[in-house]
């Protein structure tokens, strides 16, 4: 099972590159197994052109390496915070994709201005509070993940599968690694659309709530009819 998880996670990491979401090595995807006691993630600082499924690193939920010769991504503690809190989450992605990162650096949520956004995210994409100096100096990556968990306290992680870390960059997640990557692609697209829309019209209204609900529910709701059964 872990070998299959490694293969799937390896492909998901390469998909980040294919979709243009990675600058240098700044990006990673992780996956958790069905027993929720092992996480696969890319090795730290390894170029995507050098990666193979065999180089993927396996850690437990405390971050201890249980399989692999390389160090896991330095963002691993942030991923683990999400897995420990949300049983619905099976894959996590972190990128520094430019348009979404612009919102993170501006410390602004991404408003839901249209139906493309509503198809993927049930409302504005939230931004976390800034980390304190103590949080940065003591356990930066873990506290980054905890800030995301804290921001999502009143939300469903599958209805809002993304968050912007203030001054940093976005995280997305989903039922598995491939799903997390899809949400990262969608996030970058709606961030670009939002910035362009606000440039054209600074007072652009947010999408009407009933349209937001319709678009989200027709794709993700209990009676969804988008796509094939």
- State how far the Cα of 40 lies from the Cα of 3, in Å rounded to an integer: 10
Counting Cβ atoms within 10 Å, is residue 37 exposed (0-12), middle (13-18) or buried (19+)? exposed
168 closest CA partner among 191, 194, 140: 140
Report yes or no: 163 and 82 within 8 Å, Cβ to Cβ.
Answer: no
Neighbours of 229 (CB within 10 A): 4
By annotation, the residues acting in catalysis are: 119, 226
Say whether 138 sits in a helix, a strand or coil.
helix
56 closest CA partner among 6, 91, 94: 6
Question: For 49-56, which contacts have Cβ atoms below 8 Å and span 24 or more sequence positions?
Answer: 51/10, 51/13, 51/14, 52/10, 53/3, 53/6, 53/7, 53/9, 53/10, 54/6, 56/6, 56/9, 56/10
């Amino acid at each position: 099972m872990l070998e299959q998880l490694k293969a799937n996670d390896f492909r998901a990491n390469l998909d980040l590159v294919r979709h243009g979401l990675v600058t240098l090595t700044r990006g990673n995807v992780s996956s958790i197994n069905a027993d929720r006691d092992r996480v696969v993630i890319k090795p730290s600082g390894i170029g995507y052109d050098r990666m193979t499924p065999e180089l993927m690193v396996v850690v437990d939920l405390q971050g201890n390496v249980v399989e692999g010769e390389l160090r896991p991504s330095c963002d691993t503690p942030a991923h683990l915070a999400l897995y420990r809190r949300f049983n619905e989450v099976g894959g996590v992605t972190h990128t520094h994709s430019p348009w979404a990162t612009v919102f993170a650096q501006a410390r602004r949520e991404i408003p839901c201005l249209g139906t493309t956004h509503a198809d993927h995210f049930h409302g504005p994409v939230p931004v976390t509070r800034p980390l304190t100096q103590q949080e940065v100096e003591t356990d930066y990556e873990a506290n980054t993940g905890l800030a995301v968990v804290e921001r999502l306290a009143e939300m469903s992680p599958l209805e809002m599968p993304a968050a912007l870390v203030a001054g940093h960059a976005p995280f997305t997640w989903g039922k598995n690694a491939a799903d997390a990557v899809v949400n990262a692609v969608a996030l970058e697209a709606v961030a670009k659309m939002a910035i362009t829309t606000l440039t054209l019209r600074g007072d652009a209204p947010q999408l009407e709530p009933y349209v937001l609900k319709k678009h989200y529910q027709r794709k993700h709701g209990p009676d969804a009819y988008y796509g094939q059964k």
